[in-house]
Structure 1
Amino acid sequence: MLVEMSAGRAGQQGLELLFQRSPSLMAVLEGIDHKIVSANNAFIDLVGKRAQVGKSLADALPDYEQQGIDKILDGVARSGQAFVGHGMSFTVERADGSTERVLVDFVFQPLASSEGQAPSIFIHGSNFTEDPRNDTLRMAHNKVLELAIADAPLESTLSELIRMVESTSCTGVLGSILLLDPDEVHLRVGAAPSLPPEYSAILDGAAIGDCRGSCGTAAYLGAAVFVSDIETDPLWADFKHLPLAYGLRACWSIPILTCGRKVLGTFGMYHREPREPTARDLMLVNLITQTAALVIDRERAKSALQNFTTMNGRSPDYQSSPAAPAN
């Protein structure tokens, strides 16, 4: 019993750290006055000193009523349905007393509450004020956000993101997203809609490490790995026969990171001929890694909030395939 309690406390501390360090804007509101009961660093940094725990959101945002935010939150609490706002404009107050307009994609999602408890709303958002992303990124982010809010399976959401990249690429890229297992040693296939299923099965459960192919090495180092020719690159020396058997000749892998540079997984870009990345390829890499980080981060935060009281701190026991490379 003592061991279980200790594990539970460790798990709770880990969840609180994940919430605070998330690159996404996150807060929890409670009651009819929408009081802030929890807010992470990203939310406080954006909204400013007014965003204090114990204060209402109306106290934090100068144009709260003028923007109709009160009506949106009241509607979410009353209907039990999430609200998704794209490109919402807010006024925030800075430390010197000046105000600034910010452009944010926001989700207001009701949380299930026990009998007698005040209704709560989970806020999740992304700040696009200074982000010069193009229309393709906007479309990809909005589509993925809508899928996430609709509680689509994570694989479906990530697959949609990969397909957006594949359809935008002019080089026939085949994308994959591998997720770092809780044991931080193995990678699991998150989505790989265009890779041969047999090859995806080989990747699932592969260990990370130095010279473990492109994705295994990228996850191990927490840094991008660009292999232009799998047949001759030393990172693939022990495993090159696996992708070559399916006609895969190049593989670039970029780690998907939190703002604290913790590895969530990898984004792999395969090609059927040896080639180096272009500027366009790198733009697509930026699109998918940042958006994938938001999706994965949101999924984990939502799950943590909903299962907070039942968290036991244990990870699944997976059977890994020691001979396979992580790519």
Structure 2
Amino acid sequence: MTATPGARAARDRIGDTAEQDLRALIGESVAVIAALTGPEHRVESANPAFFAALGDEPARLGVTLAELLPEHSVIGVLDQVYRTGEPHTARDVPVQLGTGAHVREAFFDFTFEPRRADGDAITGVRMIGVETTQVKHAQRLMAEQRVLVEQIARQAPLAEVLDGMARCIENLTPQQVLVSVLLADLDGLHLRHGAAPSLPDFYNAAIDGIATGEGIGSCGTAAHRREPVIVTDIGTDPFWDDFRDLAQRAELAACWSTPILARDGSLLGTFAMYHPTPRVPQDSDLALARIFAGTASLAIERHHIEQAKAAAEARAEAARTELAEALRAEHKLRAEAEQRAEAAAELATRMRSAAAAQADAPHPERCQLGGPEGCTAPAEIKIADSWGDAAWGCANHVEEALLNVRSVFIASEELGGLAAYVNR
């Protein structure tokens, strides 16, 4: 089947966005170059990227590399290259950059080459390094994302997937970040707690059930707009007027929220990144949010599908149970009806037998219904009951029996008794 131009354009846009996100996570390759001289490896010259990476100023020319990177293994490699004249390459070398609160771990691919004078004597070492920190972080993040996708494929519980995703991002991002995932109600009007392993319990409880709408924090607004909402300073942003005290108690100063959308565009929830200090997001931060919002979307949609499937199976099972109960009741009623029919047939047979027996009895001359005192009136009418008992009586006593004794009826019209009773 040939894709329509609109479908191809949409696919191309998605591909472009994914490629941009990957590029933002990996970042641009920055080369640091320094010319070191003497056995002390003094910085004779360096490009701006070298000092930018170290967080130092070009005015520090002339200092030894050991002063910039104290007690680092790279110093031993420099000594070896200076002593032997053999170049050396090292990959993913960890380097602590900066000092104090600004210290961070970075990774570099280094090439060390000897510098030689005209007489071929070694005068120093040329150091060329390419920082691979973002590449490593991106690789680790992608690896973690693959693990999450595998969890989704094997139908791991949603809470487990979301909690693992939040912890993964918190552990791997260079800057401190606290991750929260909120899940949308089916009506899309409220957001419920999904996962936030590092946020305080009181904070999670307070925002559980928050409404979606314009100006309702970062997440409520992002859910309402169906687009990312970046709040760089909670202390001054009007979106947080109703939640500022709560955020201060939780020591939260910035919040970037991205809506989690289904394939049909409906709201599934929000993915938020909190920071303890005011912060402006970098391209890599936004790319990270988009990537993991997409992963959360897969997990939540799969969860909804499984919930709907389970509900449908439960309804089908309930219907099967109800049908079985109805069939059992119908079978019971049918059996009872058959039993009643058999009993009625047996009773009718007995009545016929009793009536036949009575018919064979001689016709008395006098009324048999007069009680102990007897009745001398002629026996004109035969009556019987449903049990087959029968007797002959006069018109008066037969009428009394018909009125006062249940199930009594005129036994035989052929005997003339009925006509005598009617025409009495």
TM-score normalised according to structure 1 size: 0.53
| d(CA) in 2 for partners of 1:166, 1:222 | 24
Note if 1:156 corresponds to 2:160: yes
Q: How does 1:94-133 map to 2 (within 5 A)?
A: 132=19, 133=22
Which deviations, in whole Å up to 9, do the C-alpha atoms of 1:52-100 show, x marking residues without a partner?
A: xxxxxxxxxxxxxxxxxxxxxxxxxxxxxxxxxxxxxxxxxx679xxxx
Q: CA deviation at 1:214?
A: 0.5
Query: Deviation at 1:135?
Result: 3.2
Q: Aligned partner of 2:146: which letter?
A: N
Given that residues 255 and 289 in structure 1 are in contact (C-alpha distance below 8 angstroms), is that contact kept between their aligned partners in structure 2?
yes
Within the candidate set 247, 250, 253, 2:254 is matched to 250
Structure 1 residue ranges, 4+ long, deviating more than 6 angstroms after superposition: 127-130
Q: Distance in 2 between matches of 1:136 and 1:228?
A: 27
Measure, in 1, the Cα distance between the counterparts of 2:226 and 2:3.
Answer: 35
* Conserved? CA contact 1:137–1:287, under 8 Å: no
Aligned match of 2:276: 272
Could you tell me which runs of 5 or more consecutive residues in structure 1 were left unpaired when the two chains were aligned: 1-48, 50-93, 97-126, 313-327
1:145 is displaced (CA, Å) by 2.5
Deviation at 1:277, TM superposition (A): 0.4
The 5 A counterparts of 1:1-327 are 49=1, 132=19, 133=22, 135-310=139-314
Report the equivalent of 2:387.
none
| Residues matched between the structures, number | 190
Secondary structure at 2:251 match in 1: coil
Query: Which of these two proteins has the greater Rg computed from alpha carbons?
Result: 2
Q: What RMSD in Å do the two structures reach over aligned CA positions?
A: 2.6
- SS of corresponding position for 1:175: strand
Find the residue that maps to 1:293 and give its secondary structure: helix
Secondary structure of the residue that 2:167 maps to in structure 1? Answer: helix
What runs of 5+ residues in structure 2 fail to find an aligned partner?
Answer: 5-13, 23-137, 317-424
Answer with 161-170 or 128-137: which moved more.
128-137
What amino acid sits opposite 2:162 in the alignment?
L
Distance (whole Å) between structure 2 residues aligned to residue 250 and residue 309 of structure 1: 44
Percentage of matched positions with identical amino acids: 41
1:147 CA displacement: 2.4
Q: Aligned in 2, Cα 1:296/1:200: closer, same or farther, shift over 3 Å?
A: same
Distance 1:221 1:265 in 2: 12
Alpha-carbon spacing, 1:129–1:305, altered in 2? closer, same or farther (3 Å) = farther
| Alpha-carbon distance in 2 for matches of 1:284, 1:294 | 16
8 Å contact from structure 1 (residues 162, 288) kept in 2: no
Residues of 2 paired with 1:182 and 1:311: CA distance?
Answer: 19
**Counterpart-to-counterpart distance in 2, 1:266 and 1:130:** 19
Distance 1:130 1:207 in 2: 30
Structure 2 CA distance for partners of 1:182 and 1:170, relative to 1, 3 Å: same
Query: 2-side partners of 1:163 and 1:156: how far apart?
Result: 11
Q: Which amino acid aligns with 1:211?
A: G
2:294 counterpart letter in structure 1:
Q
Shift of 1:236: 0.8
Q: How far is the alpha carbon of 1:292 from its aligned partner?
A: 0.6
Mark the CA change 1:130 to 1:271 in structure 2 (over 3 Å): closer, same or farther. Answer: closer
CA distance in structure 2 between the aligned counterparts of 1:280 and 1:297, rounded to whole angstroms? 26
| Partners of 1:274 and 1:236 in 2: CA distance | 14
d(CA) in 1 for partners of 2:231, 2:17: 32
1:308 Cα offset (Å): 2.4
CA distance 1:303–1:277, change in 2 (3 Å)? same
Supply the distance in 2 between the matched residues of 1:137 and 1:305 (Cα, whole angstroms): 32
How far apart, CA to CA, are the structure 2 residues paired with 1:184 and 1:311?
A: 25
Q: 1:171 to 1:306 in 2, by over 3 A?
A: same
Q: Deviations over 1:192-232 (max 9, x none)?
A: 01111111111111111111111011111111110001110
TM-score w.r.t. the length of structure 2 is 0.42
